[in-house]
Chain A
């Protein structure tokens, strides 16, 4: 149980385009999901908290207009990277909260911006 999926697993896009990444909790409902970013050989950095039915809350230094988050249902959150640039290339990982203190992570999405 407690499986989280992400789609796509990898994506390559041109600079200036937008990319949408989906995060789904497959066997449980999650009112809260989290989006993280991980650069090579670095740890996960929390970008934002996605709340079903309300606006996402962003960590300090994360541009909310660049990283659009939508949590449309209890099993789906999406992250859209708008006007992507090469410096946005990274590994994006989501997690879904099962209980207050339990998060289960997706397999990640590798974004490469050319």
Chain B
């Protein structure tokens, strides 16, 4: 059975305090590792897709990396508007997504 585990559950940061979120995965025939941002009461917003170990992608203050067992989302010098729940998901060989429980990030000014 496919499994995606995220840690920590919650992260409280001071503005400008960089940190990393972890996503461990066991997904059969991984077709891609996805990162989404979800604001309260909203649907997930696509951030990145990573396909192979060693791949990195960046968008503004966010950078996602991938190994054979884990993915990391690095937040550099976060701002309050980066506060959200960040979801990791693995696509299996039938392209269905298995989601982790998410990491809720709170950035204080």
Chains A and B are bound partners:
yes
Q: A interface vs B, CB < 8 Å?
A: 4, 6, 34, 42-46, 49, 91, 93, 95, 97, 100-108, 110
Nearest-neighbour CB distance to chain B for A97, whole angstroms, equals: 8
- Cβ-defined contact, B44 with A44, below 8 A: yes
Going nearest first, the 10 A-B pairs with the smallest beta carbon separation are A105-B43, A43-B99, A43-B101, A44-B99, A105-B44, A108-B43, A107-B43, A93-B43, A101-B32, A106-B43
Judged by a CB distance under 8 angstroms, whether B71 is at the interface is no
Interface size of B in residues (CB-CB distance below 8 Å): 21
Say whether B45 faces chain A, with CB atoms less than 8 Å apart: yes
New A-B pairs, 5, CB < 8 Å, besides A43-B87, A101-B95, A107-B43 = A6-B43, A46-B97, A46-B98, A102-B49, A105-B36
Residues of chain B within 8 A (CB-CB) of A42 are 101
Contacts A/B (CB < 8 Å), 7 sampled? A6-B43, A34-B96, A42-B101, A100-B31, A105-B44, A108-B42, A110-B41
Are A103 and B43 also in contact (CB < 8 A) when A43-B87, A44-B87 are?
A: no
Of the candidates B31, B36, B49, B95, the one having the most CB atoms from chain A within 10 angstroms of its own CB is B95
Q: Please name all residues of chain B whose beta carbon is closer than 8 Å to the beta carbon of A43 when the two chains form the complex.
A: 87, 99-102
Instruction: Find B97's partner among A103, A104, A107, A108 (CB 8 Å cutoff).
Output: A103
A30 CB to nearest chain B CB (Å): 13
Q: Is B21 engaged at the interface, CB distance under 8 Å to the other chain?
A: no
- Would B45 and A105 count as touching, CB distance under 8 A? yes
Residue of B nearest to A46 (CB): B96
Q: Mark B47-74, 1 if CB is under 8 A from A, else 0.
A: 0010000000000000000000000000
